[in-house]
Structure 1
Amino acid sequence: MPATLDTPGDRPRIVVLCGSTRFWDALAEANLYETAAGSIVLAPGCNMKEPHPLWADPNRAERLKNQLDYLHRRKIDLADEVVVVNPGGYVGTSTRSEIDYARTLGKPIRYTHPAEDSHDG
């Protein structure tokens, strides 16, 4: 049961969303539903598949990608549960790596769709 404002000391469950940013809209939808369910949601903060000045330069983009990968692992560290956003069952290479990392920490993992064995970058 989610904590309410009148239960001091308790905090809402923290979930982290993992999934390919090619499904940016599905990640946003999952964020909406998890938030409405009373969870604190940690999610990818950048969609590097869309053009942006922050990652227009390839060298800067590579550094940023490494930083984002590091930050996402720290989000997994903080989370009580991992929610894999995988429309059509898709789980790519990066997401698979995050799932493997979460498993080493003993984090519960939930999928938005039945998972299939596919790969992405």
Structure 2
Amino acid sequence: MHSTSDTSRPPIVVLCGSTRFWEQLAEAALYETAAGRIVLTLGCNLKQPHPLWATPEQADRVKRMLDTLHLHKIDLADDVLVVNPGGYIGASTRREIDYARSLGKPIRYTHP
């Protein structure tokens, strides 16, 4: 397990937030990368049409898989950055915050 004091690699941050803030997530990833951090973020936006989640069954399967995958990203991260314009935190993001807290991960917010 690496910590932010481990100088053998840059710190790893995971971004959490609603895909409704896709552009803000991309901007946060840019700033975190420019600050020298390794960024783990959402891999896809289910709100945008795509053949991988074209049917309700496919979308449900992909959503469950992505939710689990994101928890594994939190496991890998040194800290969490919640992208929450206007203070918005949805149910999935709240679950991720609770999970990160249970692991003792530091949590930052883009909007207090």
2:94 aligned residue? 96
Structure 1 gap ranges (5+): 4-8, 115-121
**CA root-mean-square deviation:** 1.4
Aligned pair 1:60/2:52, yes or no?
Answer: no
TM-score between both structures, scaled by the size of structure 1: 0.86
Q: How many residues align?
A: 108
Q: Which residue of 2 aligns with 1:79?
A: 77
User: Which residues of structure 2 form unaligned runs of 5+?
Assistant: none
Quick one: percent identity of the two aligned structures?
Answer: 73
Q: Aligned partners of 2:63 and 2:44: how far apart in 1?
A: 9
Deviation at 1:60, TM superposition (A): 1.0
Amino acid at match of 1:71: L
Deviation, 1:10, is 0.9
Residue equivalent to 1:117: none
Distance 2:42 2:63 in 1: 11
Helix, strand or coil at the partner of 1:107: coil
Calculate the TM-score normalised by the size of structure 2.
0.93
Structure number with the bigger relative contact order (C-alpha 8 A, sep ≥ 6) is 2
